[in-house]
Amino acid sequence: AQSVTQPDIHITVSEGASLELRCNYSYGATPYLFWYVQSPGQGLQLLLKYFSGDTLVQGIKGFEAEFKRSQSSFNLRKPSVHWSDAAEYFCAVGPYSGGGADGLTFGKGTHLIIQP
Amino acid sequence: DGGITQSPKYLFRKEGQNVTLSCEQNLNHDAMYWYRQDPGQGLRLIYYSQIVNDFQKGDIAEGYSVSREKKESFPLTVTSAQKNPTAFYLCASSKQERLPQHFGDGTRLSIL
């Protein structure tokens, strides 16, 4: 079965500092990979996606992520964080393999706190 | 503007009661999904539908039911068989099942 691991439950970063959120996945084939952001009480917004091709993908709000097949990782980065980046971040992999059900498998999320 | 509308934003259920959460999209998307979010648990798939009048169970379908009579609508019923329904419910849609999923703003369900 596929799975996504986000090893950091909480991360605290100073405003203006760089950010890296980790994501590791287990998937039987070439995955489609996604990063979403969620503000409190809101739905999820897609930051970026990887389907194939260039392993460094650019997203919205200045975020980027790099797909490393050898490490089964898809880490999210931002060179300089802003206070408005404080939110919950989810990594996801899809589609489901086998079983007939389709959709995305999500990690448990990383809560990003920005210090002034 | 196109998007996904979930209603109500907050919902309360009494013991033994069925409640229905609404999800409507005007994105002309084929596939629609329901996820449940619990604190510290990420999102888990309840049901999904690729086309009208067809839907499949996800990982945690027990105690839930859905219908897909129209392309735009995918309501979720939380039945009395769901013993722990308190959660944040998110509806999503996509043009094809492998493309990024667009999410609504969610419905928070609580037990009275």
Give the single-character DSSP code of B70: B
Specify the length of chain A in residues.
116
Q: In this complex, do A43 and B97 lie within 8 Å of one another by their Cβ atoms?
A: no
Tokens of A92: 């996801």
CA distance linking residue B11 with residue A78, whole number of Å: 37
Q: Does A30 touch chain B (CB under 8 A)?
A: no
Q: In this complex, do A43 and B4 lie within 8 Å of one another by their Cβ atoms?
A: yes
Q: Does B102 touch chain A (CB under 8 A)?
A: yes
Task: Give mean pLDDT in consecutive 10-residue pieces for chain A, a chain of 116 residues.
Answer: 92 97 89 92 92 92 96 97 97 66 85 96
**pLDDT the model gives residue A27:** 84
The residues, any chain, with a CB within 8 Å of residue B71's CB and separated by 6 or more, are: B28, B29, B30, B52
- Tell me if B20 sits within 8 A of B75, measured CB to CB: yes
- Tell me if A13 sits within 8 A of A19, measured CB to CB: yes
CA distance linking residue A58 with residue B21, whole number of Å: 35
What is the SS3 string spanning B4-45?
EEEECCEEEECCCCCEEEEEEECCCCCEEEEEEECCCCCEEE
pLDDT digits (tens, 9 = 90+) for B46-66: 999 988 999 999 989 999 999
Tokens 């769901």, residue located? B82
pLDDT digits (tens, 9 = 90+) for A14-33: 999 999 999 999 987 778 89
Which of A89, A104, A105 would you mutate first to test chain B, the one with the most B CBs within 10 A? A104
Q: Does A84 touch chain B (CB under 8 A)?
A: no
CA distance linking residue B64 with residue B85, whole number of Å: 9
Mean per-residue pLDDT, B4-16 = 92
Find residues 14-73 of chain B whose CB sits inside 8 Å of chain A: 31, 33, 35, 40-45, 48, 50, 56-59
HSE at residue A54, side-chain half, CA atoms within 13 A, is 6
Residue B3: is it exposed, middle or buried by C-beta count within 10 angstroms (0-12/13-18/19+)? Answer: middle
Question: What integer best gives the mean pLDDT of chain B?
Answer: 92
Mean per-residue pLDDT, B32-47 = 92
The residues, any chain, with a CB within 8 Å of residue A50's CB and separated by 6 or more, are: A32, A33, A34, A57, A65, A67, A74
At residue B36, does pLDDT exceed 50? yes
In chain A, whose CA is at the least distance from the CA of B34? A103
φ, ψ (nearest 5 deg) of residue A60: -85, 165
